[in-house]
Amino acid sequence: MTGKPTLVAGIDSSTQSTKIVVCDAGTGAVVRAGRAAHPDATEVDPREWWRAFTEASDGLLDGVAALGVGGQQHGMVTVDEDGEVVRPALLWNDTRSSRAAGELVRELGGPAAWAEAVGSVPVASFTVTKLRWLAEHEPELADRVARVLLPHDWLTWRLTGGDAVTDRGDASGTGYFSPAGGVYRRDILKHAFGGRDPELPRVLGPAEAAGRTPAGALVSAGTGDNMAAALALGLGDGDVVVSLGTSGTVFGVSGTAPADASGLVAGFADATGRFLPLACTLNAARVLTAAAGMLGTDLAGLDRLALSALPGAGGLTLLPYLDGERTPDLPSAAGSLHGLRRSNMTPENLARAAVEGMLCGLSAGLDAVVAQGLPVRRVLLIGGAARSEAVRAIAPIVFGAPVVVPDPAEHVALGAARQAAWALAGGAEPPTWEPKAQVTLERPASPEVGEEIRGRHLAVRQLVHDVPVPEPALGRRTT
Ligand SMILES: Nc1ncnc2c1ncn2[C@@H]1O[C@H](COP(=O)(O)OP(=O)(O)O)[C@@H](O)[C@H]1O
Ligand SMILES: O=C(CO)[C@@H](O)[C@H](O)COP(=O)(O)O
């Protein structure tokens, strides 16, 4: 007779929603799940995430021995001496601090000095630039800030009611933490925040516990959502993830700390003690939603249209900078459509150009991580838009690399659950979970079509936004 399995829960508090999975701690099998939506804004009261967590976890956490939180990275959560939120959090996709980012880069020695100090060259997404914005635009609120947290830190803090803690993965997205050294750079924080020196959460090790919930469940350190997904997928050499959620991200695990002075690749830490070089775009899944809306259809209809057009969309190129862009750093850019002729201006080509344009943004991210020494032997496609039939058909063409889709599970929540199981079990490595099923996508017969699409995207990007075409952009996959 076998006893009841030990249960662990993972919470993914990402941009658009909270998703929770409850898993068997021994195998990783999901036994139940829940979700709840977040407000659609780039400035959100953290209490909305707590509301969504409460809604999504209703009746779900009974008997759970441990849980962990994977959260959207970078968001600036400010609390006062009494632990009250000072102002709504500015999220990773809020671009109002782009001028502050440029100033900070200049003031502290330029891009190479930042890459050396904190592994990344900050753009508007990074917490440090948001603190500078707050100091300049709302100094009376900045004066009230006693502690600065990230979204996952704040949720973990509320869950335990104890000390504020974080992990090196999420801390590495602040711009005032050195992933290579494993220490905060309080000098950078103070400089950015007009001399103010708020408290920061203690940085826990990968398997350390943050505390317990009032019900007695162990709470793990938690981490950023991309780090949690990497933990769920257990990435090996040559595995590069492309995640198509609100953000588009490209990342892999590395043993050496990245320091990309071009700013294209952020040198984050991962959730296991290693590093997570990552390129991030602001425009991914919601490009498809917007394109479907423009064409008067839904996501399934967009798939049908896009798959009825030929590769290359009849020569149409969509630069999908609908929310500005982060990589390349064009915070004020708008999207644009190029190559229109009477002969190619069809709903089918427009739909295909939207999918190809979104994927080309990620393909440029692949180029950037390859340039930082991360080999790409296969791409693992995850995130909400990996469910799209059109994305699955077009990704291998645009990426020019083998693409697999792991079981379309909630990988961030699964990674957070695996971290919780690790905190429960202890040890140097996370528990081994049963491998998940995956689909290998069909590869195009000839690589030339993909090269043409990628090359045209980069050429139009150069024409419109003066972004130089990187040297090894074509034919750079190590397949
Ligand atoms: N079949 C589909 N085709 C295209 N997009 C999809 C599909 N299913 C979900 N999505 C999109 O995925 C996004 C949510 O993905 P998710 O990874 O959960 O985002 P986030 O973690 O940023 O909140 C939504 O924008 C949604 O429209
Ligand atoms: O800013 C980044 C990565 O640096 C984003 O990837 C955020 O972490 C939000 O993720 P999603 O909600 O899109 O998953």
pLDDT tens-digit series, residues 294-318:
999 999 999 999 999 999 999 999 9
167 within 8 A of 97, measured Cβ to Cβ: no
> In 3D, which of 204, 213, 205 has the Cα closest to residue 65?
213
442: helix, strand or coil: coil
Question: Is 74 annotated as belonging to a binding site?
Answer: yes
246 C-beta closer than 6 A to ligand 1: yes
- In degrees, rounded to 5, the angle at the alpha carbon of residue 111 between the alpha carbons of residues 110 and 114 is 90
Task: Kindly give the number of the ligand 2 atom that is closest to the alpha carbon of 74.
Answer: 1
CA of 71 from ligand 2 middle (Å) equals 8
Among the bound ligands, the one closest to the CA of 293: 1
Of all ligands present, the nearest one to the C-alpha of 286 is: 1
CA of 121 to the centre of ligand 2 (A): 17
Residue 244 tokens, joined = 């198509």
Helix and strand tally (H, E) in the chain? Answer: 15, 24
Do residues 381 and 392 touch, judged by C-beta distance below 8 A?
yes
Q: 223 pairs with which residues across the strands?
A: 70
CB 130 within 8 A of CB 113: no
What are 157-163's contacts with CB under 8 Å, separation 24+? 157/201, 158/50, 159/67, 159/69, 159/210, 159/211, 159/213, 159/219, 160/210, 160/211, 160/212, 160/213, 160/219, 161/211, 161/214, 162/210, 162/211, 163/201, 163/202, 163/210, 163/211
Secondary element (H or E) of residue 146? none
Nearest CA to ligand 1 atom 14: 384
Is the ipTM beyond the 0.90 threshold? Answer: yes
73 lines ligand 2 (CB under 6 A): yes
Give me the pLDDT at residue 445, please.
Answer: 82
In this prediction, residue 2 carries a pLDDT of 63
- Compute how many other C-beta atoms are within 10 angstroms of the C-beta atom of residue 236: 10
Cβ(14) to ligand 2 under 6 A?
yes
Angle at 9 between CA 8 and CA 10, to 5 degrees: 130
- Read off φ and ψ for residue 424, nearest 5 degrees: -70, -45
With CA atoms as reference, report the closest residue to 365 among 195, 205, 226, 221: 226
pLDDT of 48-60, one tens digit each?
999 999 999 999 9
Nearest CA to ligand 2 atom 2: 73
Whether residue 245 has its Cβ less than 6 Å from ligand 2: yes
- In sequence order, the 6+-apart residues with CB closer than 8 A to the CB of 95 are 42, 124, 282, 323, 324, 331, 332
CB of 249 closer than 6 A to ligand 1?
no
Torsion-angle region of residue 352: left (phi > 0), alpha (psi -120 to 50) or beta? alpha
Contact assessment for residue 69 and residue 155, using Cβ atoms and an 8 Å cutoff: yes
Per-position DSSP letters for 339-372, written without gaps between them:
---TTT--HHHHHHHHHHHHHHHHHHHHHHHHHT
With CA atoms as reference, report the closest residue to 271 among 109, 374, 380, 417: 417
pLDDT in tens, 424-455: 999 999 999 988 889 999 888 889 999 999 99
Nearest ligand atom owner, CA of 16: 1
Q: Is the pLDDT of residue 472 over 70?
A: no
Whose tokens are 């838009």? That residue is 385
- Reply yes or no on whether the pLDDT at 477 is more than 70: no
Mean pLDDT of 11-28: 97
Helix (H, G, I), strand (E, B) or coil at 197: coil
Q: Does 338 appear as a known binding residue? A: no
Please give the positions annotated as active site: 225
Atom of ligand 2 nearest to the CA of 246: 13
Q: Identify the bridge partners of residue 66 per DSSP, sorted by sequence position.
A: 8, 218
The Cβ of residue 446 has, within 10 Å, a number of other Cβ atoms equal to 9
pLDDT tier at 1, thresholds 50, 70, 90: very low
pLDDT of 473 over the 60 cut: no
Residue 72 Cβ < 6 Å to ligand 2: yes
Question: What pLDDT, in 10s, does the model give residues 241-279?
Answer: 999 999 999 999 999 999 999 999 999 999 999 999 999
- Alpha-carbon distances of 460 from 448, 456, 468, rounded to whole Å: 18, 6, 11
Atom of ligand 1 minimally distant from the CA of 303: 3
Distance 22 CA to ligand 2 centre (A): 22
Query: Rounded to the nearest 10 degrees, how much is the dihedral formed by the CA atoms of 172, 69, 211, 39?
Result: 100
Distance CA 17, CA 11 (A): 10
